[in-house]
Amino acid sequence: MNSLSELWEAVCTYVKTEGGLTNTVFTVWIEPLHIETFDGETVVLGMDNEFRYGIVEKKFTPLLKEAFFGVLGFEVDVRIELLEKKKEPAPAPAAPVEKTDALLINNPDNSFENFVVGKSNNYAYAAAKKVAENPGKAYNPLFIYGKSGLGKTHLLKAIENYMRRQNADASIIYVTSEKFTNDIIEHIRNSNTYELREKYRRADALLVDDIQFIAGKNSIEEEFFHTFNSLTEEGKQIVLSSDNPPQEIPKLADRLKNRFVWGLTADIQPPDFEMRMAIIKNKAEAISFDIPDNIVEFIAEQVIHNVRELEGAVKKLQAICSLLGTPPTIEITKDAIKELMNTTQPVSVVREKILENVAAVTGVSVANIVSDKRDKNIKDARQTAMYIIREMTGMSLEEIGEAFNGKTHSTVKHSIDCVAERMDRDKDYRTLVENIIKNVQEI
């Protein structure tokens, strides 16, 4: 996109196709808007009708923020201003969605071909490809785990797309655990569980993203347990993803944990420096964006934990450079990825900052937190610190245990489970934990 009008055309297309608005609603409320200014962080939309301005600002701002995110790939603030004189709004695009490059970029065909492979993910990649080529025969179930933004969803959708290309008549279901849960609730509410079971238990392949979110929901776990049994007994393929390996998912029923390890578990780790550079170059090529090698290296040095953040950094940099009409520089890049740079400190530094913040909030010294003392206030602080370290650094249970005077794998897991359960039932405690995380991120 080389102009504000093209950006607005893409946003209008997104609102029309994804926003669920009728043509009349779009024409009356959205079409009169146009972009006044955009500095890479804030979009100012102009409107000259005072009555419509009030309605649009109140009712449609969230949808417009979503649309800009869908087009640009990063969040921006959206402000709507009332103008004294009417300006002609940017025309809504007459062309179909396929002609809007930005929309194509943000809705890529998740395939094995455009998945960047390195030593941090080659095992999971190879297993996923094997399953796609031999569903129900290679590894069943295939369980892929790793922290958010490392490519689990990409692999699941690559499996889905490959299977569909091989057999267009096959029943391939890709679903998030949230969608699976909502389906069950809706069918129970309508007393139509038979239709639900027909849908999921007759699938040729079932791929469930973020399976950890069914943990602790008894009726959902029960339904998935029987669905799992039904599909595996018939040799149908199951692929699951999670942020943790099966045995480390808090509150998940043991019988499900045991079944999830029947086949193969494969983890995805954060990418190393060379792989991060490859991801950046791959993403830049996909959007026809020329990034000098020194900029590629700078981004790879600064954004280290998350593939999604790497891709988002490239897209944001491209959008800013296009709108400014200038090639990327280190200074522009620093500004584009400034929100990500605070999260790229060494794990040991982040761990110490977490301990210091937990100590400050709880009144328990760092020395006592990492000690073997079992006073209740010390134990509570220790469990809180373990949980936050796991969430923010992705350290293994064994590594966390070593940092706490040699605590065992099971002790660390128990501590993390206790914190998760306490956060579910105690809103004040949840707020305390979230505030500690925010404080560490801001340092």
Q: What is the CATH number of the domain that holds 304?
A: 1.10.8.60
Residue 356 neighbours by CB distance under 10 Å: 16
If we measure between CA atoms, which residue out of 187, 13, 34, 165 comes closest to residue 97? 13
Q: Is residue 27 part of a domain?
A: yes
User: 107 in a domain, yes or no?
Assistant: no
Q: Which residue has better confidence, 302 or 343?
A: 302
Which has the minimum average pLDDT: 18-27, 291-300, 427-436? 18-27
pTM, two decimals, is 0.56
**Given this model, what pLDDT does residue 89 score?**
44
Q: What one-character-per-residue DSSP string does 60-107 give? A: THHHHHHHHHHHHSS--EEEEEE-SS--PPPPPP-S-GGG-HHHHHHS
Asked whether residue 113 is domain-assigned, the answer is no
Rg of the chain over CA atoms, in angstroms?
Answer: 24
Within a domain: residue 110? no
Last residue of a domain, one of 67, 88, 109: 88
Residues 149, 61 share a domain: no
What domain range includes position 421? 347-442
| Residue 365, domain CATH | 1.10.1750.10
Contact 246, 261 (CB under 8 A): yes
**What is the pLDDT, as a whole number, of residue 20?**
73
- For residue range 52-67, list pLDDT tens digits in order: 677 788 788 888 998 8
Query: What is the rounded distance in angstroms from the CA atom of residue 337 to the CA atom of residue 227?
Result: 43
Within-domain flag for 144: yes
265: nearest Cα among 402, 89, 78, 123: 123
In this structure, are 141 and 249 located in the same domain?
Answer: yes
Return the pLDDT at 391. Answer: 78
| Alpha helices, H only, 141-292 | 152-166, 177-189, 193-201, 218-233, 254-260, 273-286
DSSP 3-state assignment of 143?
strand
Quick one: pLDDT at residue 196?
Answer: 81
Say which DSSP state 289 is in.
-
Residue 287 and residue 192 share a domain? no
- Mean pLDDT of the region 322-347: 75
Distance CA 264, CA 439 (A): 38
At residue 142, φ and ψ (nearest 5 deg) are -100, 125
> Both 135 and 262 in a single domain?
yes
Say which CATH number the domain at 148 has: 3.40.50.300
Q: What are phi and psi of 47, to 5 degrees?
A: -150, 145
pLDDT at 382: 96
d(C-alpha 290, C-alpha 408), whole Å: 49
367 in the same domain as 332: no
Cα separations in angstroms, 32 against 12, 44, 167: 11, 14, 46
* C-beta separation of 64 from 18 below 8 A: no
| Whether residues 351 and 222 fall in one domain | no
SS3 of residue 208 by DSSP: strand
How many whole angstroms separate alpha carbon 31 and alpha carbon 97?
17
Percent of the chain with pLDDT over 90: 33
Per-residue tokens: 206: 């079932």
Mean of per-residue pLDDT scores for the chain:
84
Q: How confident is the model at residue 364 (pLDDT cuts 50, 70, 90)?
A: very high
Number of residues that this document lists for the chain = 443
Q: Is 179 found in the same domain as 159?
A: yes
- Paired with 267 in beta bridges are 145
Least confident of 101-110, 304-313, 363-372: 101-110
* Residue 156: count of CB within 10 angstroms of its CB: 24
pLDDT of amino acid 293: 86
How many domains does the structure of the chain reveal?
4
Name, in order, each residue with C-beta under 8 angstroms of 300's C-beta and a sequence gap of 6 or more: 273, 276, 277, 280, 310
- 47 and 21 in a common domain: yes
Residues 128-156: tens digit of each pLDDT? 999 999 999 879 999 999 888 888 999 99
Mean pLDDT across 68-91: 72
pLDDT tens string 399-408:
899 999 999 9
pLDDT tens, residue by residue, 192-241: 778 888 889 889 999 999 999 999 888 899 999 999 999 999 999 999 99
109 within a domain of the structure (yes/no): no
| Same-domain check for residues 241 and 129 | yes
Give the model's confidence band at 415: pLDDT under 50 very low, under 70 low, under 90 confident, else very high: very high
| DSSP secondary structure of 227-261 | HHHHHHHTT-EEEEEESS-GGGSTT--HHHHHHHT
Q: Domain boundary at 319, 341, 363, which?
A: 341
If asked whether residues 295 and 263 sit together in one domain, one would say no
Per DSSP, 271 falls in state P
Q: Give the number of other Cβ atoms within 10 Å of residue 66's Cβ.
A: 17
Kindly state the average pLDDT of the residues 36-43. Answer: 86
Mean pLDDT of the 320-343 span: 79
Residue 164 sits in the same domain as residue 65: no
pLDDT at residue 110 is higher than 50: yes
Tell me the pairing of strands 34-38 and 42-47: antiparallel
Residue 107 pLDDT grade (very low, low, confident, very high; cuts 50, 70, 90): very low
In CATH, what number is assigned to the domain containing residue 71?
3.30.300.180
pLDDT score, position 85: 46
pLDDT band at 108 (very low <50, low <70, confident <90, very high): very low
Last residue of a domain, one of 290, 322, 341: 341
In a domain, 247, yes or no: yes
Predicted pLDDT of residue 239 = 97
Residue 102 is predicted with a pLDDT of 29
CB 381 within 8 A of CB 359: yes
234 & 278 share domain:
no
Residue 411, pLDDT above cutoff 80: yes
Angstrom distance (rounded) from CA 120 to CA 162: 22
pLDDT-based confidence at residue 345 (cuts at 50, 70, 90): low
62 is a domain residue:
yes
SS3 51: helix
Peptide linkage before 141 cis (omega within 30 of 0): yes
Q: Which of 337 and 262 is assigned the larger pLDDT?
A: 262
Report helix, strand and coil shares of the chain as percent, to nearest 5: 60, 10, 30
Mean pLDDT of 401-423: 90
